[in-house]
């Protein structure tokens, strides 16, 4: 049942886009599903790949996806085009279509992180957790709990501290999940895959609110700020404001050199079971 | 030189949109300028007003603007349309055009905050600063410093604590500005004007970095989470990651009842003098 890989990277293969008669096409692979639908970060990465092609720029600086209707595994069409050319920043839009319905719309500002010049000053600090070897695998935890393992959990290796407060925050604490993440097949992270990593952790409030069955994303914005070094990424995602079933999820991704790779924020709806 | 107001609100008047042969038009008023160009939050509010009209929904839940080319005061055309209808969320896009050039493109998810149902839990807390009467006016401070007063500063009444660290953060501190804000003409805030308030504070790093002359926004996203109560808003804006001249600005707006009104984030470029 397992398809042979064209490269040695599932991410590389499964986000591939091809130009057919002026329109980008891609095949959504079920390996990135959560339940019956492809993960939002995976969809965003496919759109961004077509957008980078259109812009002739190597890095997504800021991308915003509006999720309209979940697609299924299978072929999609990506209608992508530059709407504002520029020397340093190229603005691109992409629409993912399947079965005659638009599924995701993305606005992006593309650029080249290696050519940016200007002041730097980082006051944020990466979260302080034990190294990956001393953390526990979310996949193992899920197996042990006898819970269904979403397909996507086989793509990512996600490790949480043993004393992780995820799923059981104290009163007044934010809903929060912090851990190490990398592709399970050893593919190193990139500015492109950063947009997928920004949506690869389970929802911050899973388990913490009885009613939280499914937390569909309305909108996700990712700012990629550095090309990541090889190795693990350290991610932390936090929800501080849940009002009438609407919540933000604020994310940070740090690379193995301790540099900030991406900031993300999504607006999501908490659906009750 | 002062035009009579149609309403008793500059914001209401100056963001008015009218449908002319199927296209929305608006007049950018110079009173919202910073230097020679209209403020980004003001432009966003105009786009959002047309988007709310198109969506027949009262509140912007999430809006993202990409700033392409600064327009000038004068007439603009707003090409707005729904691209995904829905019962609870309507997705709309708007483009602001002037002199044959697109200036701003906006994606939005519109809804009705009064009809949302679901769990609430807010772990974030409003910043703790002295009441407005005990704060100092940014306009007065700017006058006293002998600096040029941007037009927009006459539209907003912005008050900072006397010991505000803005412009002189300690080593390791984020660039940050926190203060009270309201319209100077007494117009109460709304879910629409929240998107303008989210871009009404001066840049977090102004004065703190010698090189920071102008900080143009690449992309601004605002999540409106509650309709604000009448009175002052309390705003706090923070930059933690400035890398190679790219920075985020994370904002929170709280209303006079202590409820979270909006979360905002923008990606901006620091241009050196």
Over the stretch A4-46, which tens digit does the pLDDT of each residue have?
Answer: 667 899 999 999 999 999 899 999 999 999 999 999 999 999 9
- pLDDT at position A206, please? 86
Q: Do A123 and B69 touch (CB under 8 A)?
A: no
Q: Do B107 and A66 touch (CB under 8 A)?
A: yes
C-alpha to C-alpha distance for A192 and A169, rounded to whole angstroms: 32
- pLDDT at position B209, please? 79
Q: Does any CB of chain B come closer than 8 Å to the CB of residue A85?
A: no
- pLDDT at position A4, please? 65
Provide the CB-side half-sphere exposure for B218 (13 A, CA). Answer: 28
Summarize pLDDT for B64-102 with one digit per residue, the tens.
Answer: 999 999 999 999 999 999 999 999 999 999 999 999 999
Interface residue of B68, B96, B114, B118 to substitute, partner A, most A CBs within 10 Å: B118
* Average pLDDT value over all residues in chain B: 94
Which chain A residues have a beta carbon less than 8 Å from that of B62?
66, 218-219, 267
Buried b (16+ CB within 10 A) or exposed e, B8-47: ebbbbbbbebeeeeeebebebbebbbbeebbbbbbbbbbb
Distance from CA of A167 to the nearest CA of B (A): 14
Instruction: Return the number of other C-beta atoms located less than 10 Å from residue A200's C-beta.
Output: 25
Q: Which one of A174, A225, A245 has the shortest CB-CB distance to B118?
A: A245
Tokens of A57: 């720029």
Q: Which residue has the higher pLDDT, A138 or B145?
A: A138
Q: Do B107 and A240 touch (CB under 8 A)?
A: no
Range in A86-95, A164-173, A195-204 the model is least confident about: A164-173
C-alpha to C-alpha distance for A231 and A189, rounded to whole angstroms: 7
Q: Does any CB of chain A come closer than 8 Å to the CB of residue B10?
A: no
Q: Do A246 and B61 touch (CB under 8 A)?
A: yes
Which chain B residues have a beta carbon less than 8 Å from that of A123?
169, 172-175, 240-241
Residue A1 has pLDDT above 80, yes or no: no
Q: Does any CB of chain A come closer than 8 Å to the CB of residue B230?
A: no
Residue A128 has pLDDT above 90, yes or no: yes
Q: Which one of B218, B242, B270 has the shortest CB-CB distance to A61?
A: B218
Model-wide pTM > 0.90: yes
DSSP run (H or E) holding A271: strand A271-272
**Cβ atoms of residues B196 and B41 within 8 Å:** yes
Which chain B residues have a beta carbon less than 8 Å from that of A240?
122-124
Residues 174-193 of A with CB under 8 A from B: 174-175
Q: Does any CB of chain B come closer than 8 Å to the CB of residue A216?
A: no
Interface residue of A112, A176, A223 to substitute, partner B, most B CBs within 10 Å: A223
Q: Does any CB of chain A come closer than 8 Å to the CB of residue B109?
A: yes
Q: Does any CB of chain A come closer than 8 Å to the CB of residue B124?
A: yes
Residue A174 has pLDDT above 70, yes or no: yes
Distance from CA of B245 to the nearest CA of A (A): 4
Q: How many CB pairs under 8 A join A and B?
A: 183
C-alpha to C-alpha distance for A261 and A264, rounded to whole angstroms: 10
Burial of B152 (0-12, 13-18, 19+ CB in 10 A): buried
Q: Do A102 and B83 touch (CB under 8 A)?
A: yes
Tokens of B27: 């007049």
Summarize pLDDT for A182-197 with one digit per residue, the tens.
Answer: 999 999 999 999 999 9
Instruction: Return the number of other C-beta atoms located less than 10 Å from residue A207's C-beta.
Output: 15
- pLDDT at position A136, please? 96
Provide the CB-side half-sphere exposure for B11 (13 A, CA). Answer: 26
Confidence of residue B58 (pLDDT cuts 50, 70, 90): very high
Residue A272 has pLDDT above 90, yes or no: no
* Average pLDDT value over all residues in chain A: 94
Residue B2 has pLDDT above 70, yes or no: no
Confidence of residue A212 (pLDDT cuts 50, 70, 90): low
Cα–Cα separations (whole angstroms), residue A235 to A158, A227, A247, B12: 10, 15, 19, 42
Q: How far is CA A114 from the centre of its chain?
A: 22
DSSP, residue by residue, B49-113: HHHHHHHT-SEEEEEEEEE-S---SEEEEEEEEEEE--SS-EEEEEEEEETTEEEEEEEEEEE-G
Confidence of residue B273 (pLDDT cuts 50, 70, 90): low
Residue B28 has pLDDT above 90, yes or no: yes
Q: Do A265 and B221 touch (CB under 8 A)?
A: yes
Q: Does any CB of chain A come closer than 8 Å to the CB of residue B139?
A: no
- pLDDT at position A211, please? 60
Distance from CA of A115 to the nearest CA of B (A): 9
**Cβ atoms of residues B53 and B60 within 8 Å:** no
- Residue of chain B with shortest Cα separation from A86: B68
Q: Does any CB of chain B come closer than 8 Å to the CB of residue A6?
A: no
Distance from CA of B135 to the nearest CA of A (A): 27
Confidence of residue B1 (pLDDT cuts 50, 70, 90): very low
Q: pLDDT above 70 covers what percent of chain A?
A: 96
- pLDDT at position B4, please? 65
Q: Do B123 and A248 touch (CB under 8 A)?
A: no
Residues 237-256 of A with CB under 8 A from B: 240-246, 248
- pLDDT at position A210, please? 66
Summarize pLDDT for A46-87 with one digit per residue, the tens.
Answer: 999 999 999 999 999 999 999 999 999 999 999 999 999 999
The percent of chain A in helix, strand and coil, each rounded to the nearest 5, is 15, 40, 40
Q: Which residue has the higher pLDDT, B167 or B220?
A: B220
Q: Do B241 and A225 touch (CB under 8 A)?
A: yes
Distance from CA of A144 to the nearest CA of B (A): 29
C-alpha to C-alpha distance for B193 and B264, rounded to whole angstroms: 13
C-alpha to C-alpha distance for A231 and B129, rounded to whole angstroms: 43
Q: Does any CB of chain A come closer than 8 Å to the CB of residue B209?
A: yes
Q: Do A68 and B84 touch (CB under 8 A)?
A: yes
C-alpha to C-alpha distance for A116 and A120, rounded to whole angstroms: 11
What's the whole-number mean pLDDT along residues A134-143? 93
- Residue of chain A with shortest Cα separation from B61: A267
- pLDDT at position B231, please? 98
Distance from CA of B186 to the nearest CA of A (A): 27
């Amino acid at each position: 049942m397992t398809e042979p890989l064209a490269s040695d990277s599932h991410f590389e293969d499964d986000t591939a886009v091809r130009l057919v008669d002026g329109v980008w096409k891609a095949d959504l692979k079920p390996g990135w599903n959560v339940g019956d639908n492809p993960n939002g970060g995976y969809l965003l990465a496919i759109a961004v790949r077509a957008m980078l092609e259109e812009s002739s720029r190597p890095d997504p600086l800021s991308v915003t996806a509006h999720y309209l209707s979940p697609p299924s595994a299978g072929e999609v069409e990506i209608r992508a085009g530059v709407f504002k050319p520029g020397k340093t920043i190229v603005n691109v839009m992409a629409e993912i279509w399947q079965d005659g319905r638009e599924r995701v719309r993305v606005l992006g500002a593309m650029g080249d992180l290696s050519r940016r010049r200007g002041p730097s000053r980082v006051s944020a600090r990466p979260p302080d957790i034990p190294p990956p070897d001393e953390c526990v695998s979310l996949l193992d935890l899920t197996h042990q709990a006898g819970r269904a393992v979403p397909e996507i959990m086989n793509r990512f290796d996600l490790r949480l501290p043993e004393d992780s407060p995820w799923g059981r925050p104290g009163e007044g604490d934010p809903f929060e999940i912090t851990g190490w993440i990398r592709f399970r097949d050893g593919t190193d992270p990139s500015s492109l895959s950063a947009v997928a990593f920004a949506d690869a952790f389970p929802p911050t409030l899973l388990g913490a609110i009885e009613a939280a069955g499914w937390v569909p994303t309305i909108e996700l914005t990712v700012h990629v700020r550095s090309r990541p070094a090889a190795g693990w990424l350290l991610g932390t995602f936090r929800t501080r404001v849940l009002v009438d079933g609407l919540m933000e999820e604020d994310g940070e991704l740090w690379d193995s050199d301790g540099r900030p790779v991406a900031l993300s924020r999504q607006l999501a709806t908490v659906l009750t079971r």
